[in-house]
């Protein structure tokens, strides 16, 4: 059992990490929503933002391996789960985010706090899209030029933050596991 002095001395650090994580979540959310607004309202409007959201011509080549391609994804990763509907998917994302905030309150690693914040911010950014449009706005299209391979599915800043953050958590867990066994 910990002595009260140990708990009290850790409280400011835990509180600081909570705020770091929530700050990252807010930053990811704002950047995600800002980029989606720029793409939908300034760059691609009005030709690509009216239903059914999939008209030809909604692609802007930027680099030989990168396009801006406006896609409204009704599902989650790779469009899976699109039949569940935006309210159910939003509810799941909110529930997961609440669980992540509980976890964030208990972390003692700045890296882990930042990664959890990245997932929360990305999840909430995509929830806003689902509630606003009934689907998630994706627009980053990366591919291998001259290849017969299909393009990677379009994604957004929120998706990127989630994927990178999950990778950081996995690597952090592997490194922490090695430290514990050493």
Which residues are known catalytic residues? Answer: 138, 159
Given the structure tokens 């930042």, which residue do they identify? 114
Residue 61: phi and psi, rounded to 5, are: -65, 135
The span from the CA of 118 to the CA of 87, in Å, is 22
Largest CA distance in the chain: 65
The span from the CA of 8 to the CA of 127, in Å, is 36
Q: In what order do the strands lie in the sheet with 136-142?
A: 59-63, 66-73, 136-142
Dihedral over alpha carbons 97, 113, 28, 152 (to 10 degrees): -80
Instruction: Tell me how far CA of residue 180 lies from CA of 74, 86, 94, 120, in angstroms.
Output: 42, 42, 33, 28
The span from the CA of 117 to the CA of 99, in Å, is 12
């Amino acid at each position: 059992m910990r002595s009260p002095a140990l708990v009290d001395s850790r409280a400011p650090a835990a509180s600081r990490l909570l705020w770091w994580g929530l700050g990252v979540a807010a930053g990811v959310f704002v950047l995600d929503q800002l980029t989606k607004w720029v793409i939908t309202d300034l760059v691609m409007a009005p030709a690509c933002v009216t239903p059914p959201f999939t008209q030809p011509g909604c692609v802007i080549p930027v680099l030989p391996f990168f396009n801006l391609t406006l896609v409204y994804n009704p599902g989650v990763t790779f469009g899976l789960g699109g039949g569940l509907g935006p309210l159910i998917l939003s509810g799941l994302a909110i529930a997961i985010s609440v669980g992540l905030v509980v976890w964030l309150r208990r972390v003692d690693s700045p890296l882990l706090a930042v990664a959890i914040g990245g997932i929360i911010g990305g999840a909430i950014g995509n929830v806003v899209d689902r509630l606003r449009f009934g689907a998630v706005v994706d627009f980053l299209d990366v591919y291998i030029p001259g290849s017969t391979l299909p393009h990677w599915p379009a994604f957004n800043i929120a998706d990127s933050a989630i994927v990178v953050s999950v990778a950081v958590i996995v690597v952090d867990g592997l490194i922490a596991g090695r430290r514990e066994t050493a």
